Amino acid sequence: MEPLRSSDPSRIAGHRLLGRLGAGGMGVVYLARSPVGPLVALKVLQAEYAEEEGFKERFRREVAVARRITSRWAVPVVDADADARAPWLATAFVPGPSLAEAVTAYGPLTGRGLRLLGGRLALALSEVHRAGLVHRDLKPGNVLLAHDGPRLIDFGIARAPEDTVLTATGLVVGTPGYLSPEQALGQGEGTVGPPSDLFSLGCVLAFAATGRPPFGSGPVDALLYRAVHDSPDLDGVPASVLEVVRRCLEKDPERRPVAEDVVRELAEDGAEEGGDAPGWLPEAVTRLIAERSTAALGLPDVDNTQVAVAEDPAGRPEGTAGESAAAAPDGVAGGTAPDGDGSAGAGEDTAKDTADDAAGRGPGRRRLLLAGGAVVLAAGGGTGLWALTRGEDRRPGATSSGRASYTLAAQGDLSGEHRETGRAQERGLRLAVEEFNARTGRPYDLRAEVVDDKGDPATAARLAKELTADASVLAVVGPSTDATAEAALPAYDAALLPVVAVSPGAITLANGGFRSFLHARLPDTLMPFYLAPYLRGPGRSRTIGIINDRAGDAYAWEISSTISRLLQKDRYPSVPKVVGLLRADFGPAVDAMVAGGADSVVYAGPHDRAALIARTLRERDFTGARVSGPALLDPRFLSAAREAAEGWVIAAPVVDASVKPEARTFATAYGRRYGQAPPRWAAEAYDVSGMLLKALSTLPKGRRTREDLLAAVRAATYRGITKAFAFQPNAASLVIDGTGVFLWRVERGRFVYAGPAPLA
């Protein structure tokens, strides 16, 4: 539970709010004490949704649906009000983790635990189906764990099969990765019935048994495609539930069992009986449930939370979390506290602090932190807070030379798994800044600031917030990886701070709708457009084998699915194969591929697993072309595959600046500065730094702002030493002009640059 924020109400319709259980785009879920005593989970929807046509009717339907389900294994509705200004719904509070949280933190369930989980969820589904409804969104996050069994929650999109409100043709409802094929196809009225929930139950049991969804993870379209066409990855599912899971995951709805069949088949060990079920969960999860139950007992009861709070006629409380908005310190209640969430450090609070505050046992650390934030603001103003949070004042201003000063920052992995990439980009930026500062008569000075996120997404998100708080930073080069970029981009976007990525390759980054993000390389999903021409030409392939390694997640999907579609469109023979996440033996897939006539192979997966298939191909004396994408351009592939790596060809959006003629001057300068040839990604970082500096030079003195710099970069074309940079209008992606992808070949145990990749 997170502490309440200063903007949160203290009471809703007599329910005393104690903390936040979660939040999303639609609203917030609070932990609350009901007027009669029990704890409830109070789901409050944003008021603006209530103004939408038909919204209140849909919300009433959700409440009515949930109230029709009385199974012990489904969480009951306690109260609701669809007519409040901010509609709300209260359900019984279960002081246990979700299945998703428990498995992620503590590992898969045991055989007996799986049987009990499946049996009791099937009992809940049987009642849902007897009521003439379909849940539609059974997933690990909608299953709460208690000492005696699971609880099914969230009937927000449960409907009768004939209900067309949410089942119009083409509309996909539910959570990708746990959707049935009929949901994934969005076929519409009458196609999504009880068998759909049984498919989702199979997905949930597979996740509980292995810690991963049976159709992997990644982009939505990949998950939908796999649900319809691919076999599930059931490696590691215990034999005690394997057959039930396999039957639930049949593509044909008519071949799946009904809920009552699952109850009977998993009835061993009392799976369908009530009462406690000691030992059904890992000890750590049982202990967590006990700790949360104990903490819940210590929360304020109904007697010591009776605080008078005025409410408006629509039922919207005027009070805030423990104090009125009018009484909050200036600059805090309005959301200007240091950590940016209106709580001046409330993210560090504990449930006990909030409980103590609400029960009147003391001011509580949260209120003290609020007061502390007000003192900082009052004592030092903006400058005092700046110095406190950043260590020095780095706002744009004049240097000792009298010139204005601005900062370009690099965020990357400088000490983790991808440190070579991060350090190369850092040095590329530093060299560009040093060369600019060496110019005589320059209109302003530049400063390079570099931060190390260690390849950790949480650290990346924190550092992004720190860089956005530094008003002198006009743009950021980085981060180094897909995961860190995904974590950092929301903070950069909120501040409209331009961020230019040169090494992350996920197409989802460019499609994420981030306003200030510029993807300065072609994404991984476009690499097959360069691999296919190579295979048809220099590779001399007549039938192309495609290995989609599930261990490569979204990256593997992007490459394998794109080249499959390209070849199908051109009616070029191909033999696609899928390798499960846990399978370390590539022999069966290679043998099946060769038996299908493949004389070349495209591998879509990570570098460490590429070594396994490389050795397998060598053992089979496979002499055809072997190609892959950027993930293989990693020294660890060479060291793991050894002689089996020889001859592999890689398409990647990165050059060897030491041999590319246009980069000769850069390579010489880099060698003088750092005493070595420029590594991969250094020239790309140098290029985008030059692109940012050129755009900045076009801006008049009064308009050198983040927003103006972003607009200038988007509007211009920059000819760099690696390629031309021009961005699509109102998009993060580069204009595709046939350049920007290069071939690399493994020769004598090293990567050798082979020049631009063909596109036709």
Segments making up each domain of the chain, as ranges: 1-93, 326-390, 397-522+660-727, 526-652+743-756
Res. 333: pLDDT tops 50: no
Torsion of CA 507, 509, 514, 519, to 10 degrees: -80
Residues 65-71 have a mean pLDDT of: 76
Q: Which two tokens stand for residue 138?
A: 């059974």
Return all residues near 98 (Cβ < 8 A) that are at least 6 apart.
140, 141, 142, 143, 144, 145
| Block residue for tokens 């499959």 | 564
Tens of pLDDT, residue by residue over 645-697, are: 999 999 999 999 999 999 999 999 999 999 999 999 999 999 999 999 999 99
Res. 615: pLDDT tops 90: yes
Under the phi-then-psi rule, with left for phi > 0, alpha for psi from -120 to 50, and beta for the rest, what region is 279? left
Residues 377-395 have a mean pLDDT of: 29
**Helices 706-715 + 682-697 axis angle, to 10:** 110
Contact 503, 421 (CB under 8 A): yes
Burial of 48 (0-12, 13-18, 19+ CB in 10 A): exposed
pLDDT-derived band of residue 297, with 50, 70 and 90 as boundaries?
confident
Asked whether the CA dihedral 254, 259, 260, 262 is positive or negative, the reply is: positive
Q: Which stretch of 25-39, 452-466, 531-545, 690-704 has the lowest confidence by average pLDDT?
A: 25-39
Long-range contacts of 461-465 (CB under 8 A, 24+ apart): 461/487, 461/488, 461/490, 461/491, 463/411, 463/488, 464/411, 464/488, 464/489, 464/490, 464/491, 464/492, 465/340, 465/491
Taking residue 592's Cβ as centre, other Cβ atoms within 10 Å add up to: 13
Contact 759, 738 (CB under 8 A): yes
Contact 505, 485 (CB under 8 A): no
- Reply yes or no on domain 526-652+743-756 having CATH 3.40.720.10: no
Higher-confidence residue: 133 or 541? 541
Contact 476, 453 (CB under 8 A): no
By annotation, the residues acting in catalysis are 137
C-alpha 171/C-alpha 205 separation (Å) is 26
Return all residues near 554 (Cβ < 8 A) that are at least 6 apart.
217, 218, 219, 222, 482, 506, 508
Fold observed for domain 397-522+660-727: Rossmann fold (3.40.50)
Tens of pLDDT, residue by residue over 140-183, are: 988 999 888 999 987 644 344 444 333 333 334 457 889 899 88
Q: What are phi and psi of 354, to 5 degrees?
A: -65, -40
Looking at residue 447, what is its pLDDT?
A: 95
C-alpha 2/C-alpha 715 separation (Å) is 43
H or E element, residue 42:
strand 39-45
Res. 26: pLDDT tops 80: no
Return the beta strands (E) in 49-87 as ranges.
77-81
pLDDT-derived band of residue 132, with 50, 70 and 90 as boundaries?
confident
Torsion of CA 382, 385, 389, 393, to 10 degrees: 50
pLDDT-derived band of residue 450, with 50, 70 and 90 as boundaries?
very high
Residues 61-81 have a mean pLDDT of: 80
Q: What percent of the chain has pLDDT over 90?
A: 53
Is the model's pTM score more than 0.85? no
Res. 719: pLDDT tops 60: yes
Q: What are phi and psi of 282, to 5 degrees?
A: -55, 150
Beta strand 77-81 with 88-92 is antiparallel
H or E element, residue 671:
helix 664-674
Residue type, 473: V
Asked whether the CA dihedral 513, 517, 518, 523 is positive or negative, the reply is: negative
pLDDT-derived band of residue 484, with 50, 70 and 90 as boundaries?
very high
Return all residues near 641 (Cβ < 8 A) that are at least 6 apart.
610, 611, 614, 615
Contact 98, 158 (CB under 8 A): no
Closest CA to 550 of 184, 229, 206, 233: 233
Return all residues near 264 (Cβ < 8 A) that are at least 6 apart.
272
H or E element, residue 17:
strand 15-23
C-alpha 175/C-alpha 136 separation (Å) is 9
pLDDT-derived band of residue 716, with 50, 70 and 90 as boundaries?
very high
C-alpha 201/C-alpha 600 separation (Å) is 39
Q: Write down the CATH superfamily of domain 1-93.
A: Phosphorylase Kinase; domain 1 (3.30.200.20)
DSSP H helices in 470-516: 482-494, 507-510
Looking at residue 320, what is its pLDDT?
A: 35
Looking at residue 729, what is its pLDDT?
A: 82
Q: Which two tokens stand for residue 531?
A: 């691999």
Return the beta strands (E) in 491-534 as ranges.
499-501, 517-519
C-alpha 220/C-alpha 217 separation (Å) is 8
Beta strand 718-719 with 724-725 is antiparallel
Looking at residue 400, what is its pLDDT?
A: 54
Looking at residue 736, what is its pLDDT?
A: 85
**Helices 457-469 + 482-494 axis angle, to 10:** 30
Looking at residue 25, what is its pLDDT?
A: 57
Cα 651-511-220 angle, rounded to 5 deg: 90
Contact 371, 35 (CB under 8 A): no
Looking at residue 377, what is its pLDDT?
A: 25
Looking at residue 727, what is its pLDDT?
A: 94
Tens of pLDDT, residue by residue over 76-104, are: 888 888 888 888 888 888 888 999 999 98
Res. 69: pLDDT tops 70: yes
Tens of pLDDT, residue by residue over 530-583, are: 999 999 999 999 999 999 998 888 899 889 988 998 998 889 999 999 888 778
Length, in residues, of the chain: 760
In order of 88, 387, 429, 607, the CA distances from 416 in angstroms are: 45, 30, 19, 17
Indicate the average pLDDT of the chain.
81
Looking at residue 759, what is its pLDDT?
A: 84
Higher-confidence residue: 2 or 491? 491
Looking at residue 155, what is its pLDDT?
A: 64
3-state SS, 149-174, equals EEEECCCCCCECCCCCCCCCCCCCCC
3-state SS, 219-264, equals CHHHHHHHHHHCCCCCCCCCHHHHHHHHHHCCCCHHHCCCHHHHHH
Looking at residue 395, what is its pLDDT?
A: 45
C-alpha 421/C-alpha 679 separation (Å) is 8
Higher-confidence residue: 143 or 186? 143
Tens of pLDDT, residue by residue over 504-523, are: 999 888 877 888 999 999 99
In order of 66, 464, 502, the CA distances from 25 in angstroms are: 21, 22, 30
Return all residues near 201 (Cβ < 8 A) that are at least 6 apart.
118, 121, 122, 125, 138, 248, 259, 262
Domains 1-93 and 397-522+660-727 share a fold: no
**Helices 239-248 + 111-130 axis angle, to 10:** 30
